[in-house]
């Protein structure tokens, strides 16, 4: 998973610092936050992502691509603050072949 693709930051730490600043400036936490991921269509990958959200109230919507090769995974989760959003992205980023949107 390459979170730096198309991003001006030199390393993941800078990316997450910038993300946290943007979240704090543009959101009024606590609130529902929409996480979006693209994954190869694979139930095991979805399960790995869902585990990151254990203990968090969320709803989800998945949609396969036209050819069925990829799945768009949208998770609307109630988060307490920007730090929680960043932690979730960091955990999902550890899952192989997941694209964060």
70's tokens: 């990829």
The arithmetic mean of pLDDT across residues 14-42, rounded, is 95
Task: Indicate if the pLDDT at residue 61 is higher than 90.
Answer: yes
Q: What percent of the chain has pLDDT over 70?
A: 90
Res 78: pLDDT: 97
CA dist 22 and 4 (Å) reads 16
Question: What's the rounded Cα separation, in Å, for the pair 97 and 15?
Answer: 19
Task: Estimate to the nearest angstrom the gap between the alpha carbon of 62 and the chain centroid.
Answer: 13
* Residue 38, domain CATH: 3.30.70.260
Q: Is residue 9 part of a domain?
A: no
**Closest among 78, 87, 89, 64 to 29, alpha carbons compared:** 78
Q: Assess if residue 73 is contained within a domain.
A: yes
pLDDT at 11: 79
In the prediction, which pLDDT does 1 show?
38
Asked whether residue 20 is assigned to any structural domain, the reply reads no
Boundaries of domain holding 72: 29-98
Alpha carbons within 13 A on the beta-carbon side of 49 = 31
Say if 91 falls within a structural domain: yes
Q: In the chain, how many domains are there?
A: 1
């Amino acid at each position: 998973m390459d979170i730096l693709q198309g991003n001006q930051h030199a390393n993941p730490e800078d990316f997450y610092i910038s993300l946290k600043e943007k979240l704090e400036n543009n959101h009024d936490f606590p609130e529902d936050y929409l996480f979006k991921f693209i994954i190869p269509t694979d139930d095991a990958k979805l399960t790995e992502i869902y585990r990151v959200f254990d203990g968090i109230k969320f709803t989800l919507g998945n949609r396969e691509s036209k050819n069925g090769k990829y799945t768009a995974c949208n998770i609307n989760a109630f988060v307490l603050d920007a730090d929680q959003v960043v932690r979730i992205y960091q955990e999902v980023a550890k899952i192989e072949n997941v694209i964060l949107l």
